[in-house]
Amino acid sequence: MQVLNWFFRVNNDSARSQAKDRMRNMLVHDRLELPAGRLEMLEEELIAVVSRYFDLDSETTNFDLQQYERKAALIANFRLLRSKC
Amino acid sequence: MSGRVIVITSGKGGVGKTTASANIGVALANTGASVALVDMDIGLRNLDILMGLENRVVYNLVDVVEERCKLRQALVKDKRIPNLSLLPAAQTRDKTAVNSDQMKKLCAELKELFEFVIVDSPAGIESGFQNAIAGAEEAIVITTPEMSAVRDADRIIGLLEARKDEIQQYRLVVNRIRPQMVKNSDMMSVEDVLEILSVKLLGVVPEDEEIITSTNRGEPVSGTDNVRSGMAFRNIARRVRGEDVPFMDLDVQNNGWMSRIVKFFSPATRV
């Protein structure tokens, strides 16, 4: 697989892919006028709310801001273990 | 006549707005259309140099707006193309010399005289930019595949989006692409930039030393045959006119059997 990656120049450490990743992240924040740290605050609150209803597998909980056209989407993934009620 | 007013803008300075304005203007005029090039970079006049017309400037845009001369007196005819004229910026004034309403009026007057009015916007997002887009119905956003230029282009696109009623369409030109560096994964490709900005592509211009030579001569490259960047600007002009021009193959010329195999598997870079 590594050989194939090398052959087809799939290189995730390349300056090109780093630029692309940084760009995506930066523009999602720019477009939403989202200050640094604000998203992390929201994540903590969301986890707190969901935790009132469910036991969570905190290892696999994750949040992702994705770009759709020129709009952003917040993808939240909670792995639920059991209901608390 | 009711011509099209197209503003050329970028946010960031130094990405090639003025070069693109001059070249798109020349290429459009060479297709037979009447074209006015308007330098809105008041205080930092440069379009006259690129066109080789710096010695013929008598009046300027601010003189027209402040009614010190007639519009026709301020228009400088191109040396080679009779259907191409330049409206120079004032060099000794600043961005506050003109306001949006004056610019709208000026563009309305110009589009009665010309099929295309190409407005070269100053860098930035302040009053100079706001005035430059005031009279336009279309925009061409110039960027290079560098992060700072792409970020600024995104900001400009956001501002254009907010004025959808006036600016009916905007398209992107990716300038100064270096195919070899893209191939080596050292810089973003045109596809990367398009994906990040989610915008329609109008053209791709390769990095080309001929641009420097042509600026020194005062003859934009799009008027010269056999120059790759010139061809790219001619293609852009044809697309502006509504022609469906395929994006030309920009891949690094290398025809060994190994590179042909690699080429077969990798997406081509096209202009």
Q: Which ranges of chain B does DSSP label H, i.e. alpha helix? A: 17-30, 47-50, 61-65, 71-74, 100-113, 127-134, 147-161, 179-183, 190-197, 210-217, 228-240, 257-265
CA dihedral over B259, B262, B266, B267, signed as positive or negative:
positive
Q: Could you give the CA distance from residue B9 to residue B21 in angstroms, rounded to a whole number? A: 9
Strands B4-9 and B116-120: parallel
The average pLDDT across B141-169 equals 96
Q: Residue A75: which of A48, A27, A45, A39 has the closest Cα? A: A39
Contact status of B155 with chain A (Cβ, < 8 Å): yes
Chain A residues near residue B157 by CB distance under 8 angstroms:
70
The two structure tokens encoding residue B267: 């997406």
Angle at B108 between CA B107 and CA B114, to 5 degrees: 75
Q: What is the pLDDT of residue B255?
A: 52
Q: What is the pLDDT of residue A64?
A: 87
Nearest CA in chain B to A25: B196
Contact status of A33 with chain B (Cβ, < 8 Å): no
Q: What is the pLDDT of residue B262?
A: 58
Q: Which of B161, B185, B196 sits opposite A14 (nearest CB)?
A: B185
**Distance, in angstroms, between B259 CA and closest chain A CA?**
11
Contact status of B251 with chain A (Cβ, < 8 Å): no
Cross-chain Cβ contact B161/A70 below 8 Å: yes
Contact B29, B78 (CB under 8 A): yes
The average pLDDT across B156-181 equals 96
Q: What is the pLDDT of residue B170?
A: 97
- What is the DSSP code (8-state) at residue B192? H
Question: Which is higher by pLDDT, B137 or B248?
Answer: B137
Q: What is the pLDDT of residues B175-186, one digit of tens each?
A: 999 999 999 999
Inter-chain Cβ pairs, chain A and chain B, closer than 8 A: 51
From the centroid of its chain, how far is CA B247? Answer: 18
The average pLDDT across B124-140 equals 96
Contact B213, B70 (CB under 8 A): no
Q: What is the pLDDT of residue B117?
A: 98
- Is the model's pLDDT at B236 over the cut of 60? yes
Q: Could you give the CA distance from residue B42 to residue B97 in angstroms, rounded to a whole number? A: 8
Question: Which is higher by pLDDT, B123 or A69?
Answer: B123
Q: Residue B222: which of B84, B56, B38 has the closest Cα? A: B84
Q: What is the pLDDT of residue B76?
A: 98
Q: Per CATH, the architecture of B4-265 is what? A: 3-Layer(aba) Sandwich (3.40)
Contact B231, B204 (CB under 8 A): no
- Is the model's pLDDT at A18 over the cut of 60? yes
Interface test with A, best of B188, B190, B193, B269 (most A CBs within 10 A): B188
Q: What is the pLDDT of residues B182-198, one digit of tens each?
A: 999 999 999 999 999 99
Q: What is the pLDDT of residue B264?
A: 62
Contact status of B266 with chain A (Cβ, < 8 Å): yes
Chain B residues near residue A23 by CB distance under 8 angstroms:
147, 150-151, 188, 196
